[in-house]
């Protein structure tokens, strides 16, 4: 899956508990991925909200199959 949930706030805001990241876009510094981080898509307070957003992003991002018109 391209989008995944990371526990905690990548932006270091104390009020967010979950970050949704785009694994296709690593956060780079000096040509190397910084601390295993990826570009942040959004942050959420509740896990259930993060699950819904992440699922929607991954569903929308799926490659079309040959059997679709």
How far is the C-alpha of 10 from the C-alpha of 7, rounded, in Å?
9
The tens digit of pLDDT for each residue in 17-54 reads: 999 999 999 999 999 999 889 999 999 999 999 999 99
Using a cut of 0.85, tell me whether the model's pTM lies above it: no
Q: Using a CB cutoff of 8 Å and minimum separation of 24, what contacts does 34-41 make?
A: 37/10, 40/10, 40/11, 41/3
Q: Return the SS3 of 48.
A: helix
Domain assignments of the chain as residue spans, ordered by start: 3-61
Strand pairing class (3-7; 18-29):
antiparallel
The answer to whether the CB of 39 falls within 8 A of the CB of 33 is: no
Instruction: Give 10-22 pLDDT, tens digit per residue.
Output: 888 889 999 999 9
As given in the structure block, the two tokens for residue 41 are 């898509």
pLDDT of residue 47: 97
């Amino acid at each position: 899956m391209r989008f995944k949930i990371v526990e905690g706030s990548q932006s270091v805001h104390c009020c967010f508990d979950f970050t949704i990241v785009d694994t296709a876009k690593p956060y780079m510094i000096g040509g190397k991925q910084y601390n295993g981080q990826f570009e942040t898509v959004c942050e959420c307070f509740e896990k259930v909200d993060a699950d819904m957003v992440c699922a929607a992003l991954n569903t929308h991002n799926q490659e079309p199959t040959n059997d679709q018109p």
